[in-house]
Structure 1
Amino acid sequence: MTAQSKSNLRGALFALLAFGLFATHDVIVKVLGASYGTFQILFFSVLLSFPLVTLMLMRDRSEATLIPVHPWWTALRTAAAMVTGLGAFYAFSVLPLAQVYTILFAMPLLITVLSIPVLGERVGLHRWAAVAAGLVGVLVVLRPAEAQLGLGHAAALVAAFSGALASVIVRKIGKDERSAVLMLYPMMANFVVMGAALPFVYQPMPVEHLGLVGACPCWPSWRGFA
């Protein structure tokens, strides 16, 4: 096996591992969503992520600050990541997982569309056809004429759009910004906003539920690097 083949295999295995972790996180959110509000789950998810992020920062030897090189793009990505977390967590809490995934699978299609105004890319006719076919596929699976669409579906659609926007922005500024900046700013925004809402929705959590939250650290920030 050549070095390139080994590298491709290693990359594929890491990708499968990441998708497996994401799926596990989504199931945990689904389970916890039956007992707790979205704001509370997100708050503790971020809170319990800080020790891991601190260790990552301690290992980062690069000489740079946490001041963003592109503050406006970073702010927009931070807002998009926060909206993604709220929408996706709420959708997972109130909808079957299959329906949420069906809507979120539109995210790559939306990335293609958003790459035009954000990245200045040109999308050929064949890609537009693929986007149209993909969106039709989403509608076929959801069957909106038969299903009762509600707030959960709208939340998942908003999460798909904002997640696509966050990913496109990472592509635009990722070469200039430190990974710590791209990760920490959404975490801090979620911590502040969800913490402000927490007193209105808080329900006591047993240790085992806190352990489940700790098993899915900062879902929006990690997935925003896609």
Structure 2
Amino acid sequence: MEQPQTALKGLVFALAGYASYSVHDAVVKALQDYSVFQILFFAMLFTYVPFSVARIAAGNQLSVTPKFPKLAFTRALLHVSSLGFAFSAFATLPLVEAYVLLFCTPLIISLLAVIFLGEQIALVRWGLILMGLVGVIVVLRPSIETIQIGHILALSCSFCSAASAIIARKIGSSENMATMILFPLLATIFVSGAALYFVYIPMPIEHLGMMFLVGALGLLGQYCILTGFRLAPAAYIAPMQYSQIVWAIIFGYLFFNESVDQWVIIGSLITIFSGIGMLLRERQVSSIRANLNTRNGRVVGAPLMKPKEAEKSDEWSN
């Protein structure tokens, strides 16, 4: 009985984490009058400082010197780019449309894994990839008139997140968590801080408080999702990210006067079923299970499963 109860706790943590990220994204959208770099700088500053204080207080002496510096720096820059693209997409697109495009990340990971990791894609996975693309087409109904810059930004975010995930899978088992978390955070602060000189706009205290909230919600979401992965198998936790579609519909309607037509709902469901199907398929085929072990792209500390975690997932799923 203890294992199902623990798994349920993991699901609750995961749902809370993805809900935190949904509120995070809604607040970012509400701050759309400010430059993405200004939002990123203050949000990451408020995230980095409490993380560093907690790390020092815990007396963690792990080295932050990367074993693969080029890949670590590349991953950090990809993380900065993905955040910038995502924040810009939230400012220009309805939340639901932005999420559907961001949820293309697992599909892109599968394709990049073939190119850079030499993985083989079975016919079923090709079908799921095509199914996900159909869902995106149904949502967007692309034409010269309907495609906006926000759609391109959201897809760019998905590509950057997928590339970052591929690097995380390659080096995550060798690098320690401090390196995996600190490098993306520091890169974000340095890049956005350098740009801040050119884009800074004075802001009232309540908007500064909202930027603090963005950082706090990102930290809370990260903690809850990682806790969920520790308590339950990845096959249970990963599909919970699609709960963000529900939050996007609610927040879009309540706060941004966004309406959702039937085609957006249908396309979202197709994309969600495609993503869940791919997760289940990867869990069944051990040789490609590594895709499941890549954490959600929004979690900056995204190491692969430790061996003991993988063994526990296998035991619970048998």
Who is 1:91 aligned against? 89
Question: Hey, what's the Cα distance between the residues in 1 that align with 2:106 and 2:298?
Answer: 16
Kindly tell me: are residues 176 and 143 of structure 1, through their superposed partners in 2, closer, same or farther at Cα, counting changes over 3 Å? Answer: same
Residue correspondence of structure 1 range 49-88 to structure 2 within 5 A: 49-88=47-86
Percent identity, aligned pairs only? 38
SS of 2:31's partner is: helix
Question: Hey, what's the Cα distance between the residues in 2 that align with 1:225 and 1:111?
Answer: 18
For structure 1, which segment, 80-89 or 116-125, has the greater mean C-alpha deviation from structure 2 after superposition? Answer: 116-125
Which letter maps to 2:74?
L
Residue correspondence of structure 1 range 121-132 to structure 2 within 5 A: 121-132=119-130
Question: Hey, what's the Cα distance between the residues in 1 that align with 2:29 and 2:145?
Answer: 20
SS of 1:216's partner is: helix
| 8 Å contact kept, 2:140–2:147 | no
Which letter maps to 2:24?
H
Who is 1:15 aligned against? 14
1:106: how far off? 0.6
| 8 Å contact kept, 1:39–1:198 | yes
1:142 pairs with 126, 133, 140, which one?
A: 140
1:50: how far off? 2.3
Kindly tell me: are residues 178 and 59 of structure 1, through their superposed partners in 2, closer, same or farther at Cα, counting changes over 3 Å? Answer: farther
Which letter maps to 2:299?
R
1:120: how far off? 3.3
| 8 Å contact kept, 1:83–1:162 | yes
Structure 1: gaps spanning 5 or more residues: none
Who is 1:110 aligned against? 108
Who is 2:174 aligned against? 176
| 8 Å contact kept, 2:27–2:210 | yes
Q: Deviation digits for residues 92-132 of structure 1, max 9, x if unmatched? A: 11111111111111111112212223433322110011011
Which letter maps to 2:2?
A
Question: Hey, what's the Cα distance between the residues in 2 that align with 1:6 and 1:73?
Answer: 39
Kindly tell me: are residues 60 and 118 of structure 1, through their superposed partners in 2, closer, same or farther at Cα, counting changes over 3 Å? Answer: farther
Mapped pair 1:223 → 2:305: no
SS of 2:162's partner is: helix
Which letter maps to 2:102?
L
SS of 2:147's partner is: coil
Who is 2:239 aligned against? none
Question: Hey, what's the Cα distance between the residues in 1 that align with 2:70 and 2:150?
Answer: 30
Who is 1:46 aligned against? 44
Mapped pair 1:190 → 2:194: no
Q: CA RMSD for the aligned pairs?
A: 2.0
| 8 Å contact kept, 2:41–2:188 | yes
| 8 Å contact kept, 1:87–1:155 | yes
How many residues of Structure 1 are paired with residues of Structure 2 in the alignment?
224
Structure 2: gaps spanning 5 or more residues: 223-296, 303-318
Q: Normalising by the residue count of structure 1, what TM-score does the alignment of the two structures yield?
A: 0.91
1:213: how far off? 1.2
Question: Hey, what's the Cα distance between the residues in 1 that align with 2:144 and 2:134?
Answer: 15
1:7: how far off? 2.1
| 8 Å contact kept, 2:113–2:119 | yes
| 8 Å contact kept, 2:62–2:178 | no
1:61: how far off? 4.5
1:225: how far off? 4.5
Kindly tell me: are residues 213 and 134 of structure 1, through their superposed partners in 2, closer, same or farther at Cα, counting changes over 3 Å? Answer: same
| 8 Å contact kept, 1:170–1:225 | no
For structure 1, which segment, 108-117 or 195-204, has the greater mean C-alpha deviation from structure 2 after superposition? Answer: 108-117
Q: Deviation digits for residues 135-192 of structure 1, max 9, x if unmatched? A: 1111111111385212221111100111112123222222221211111111111111
Which letter maps to 1:190?
T
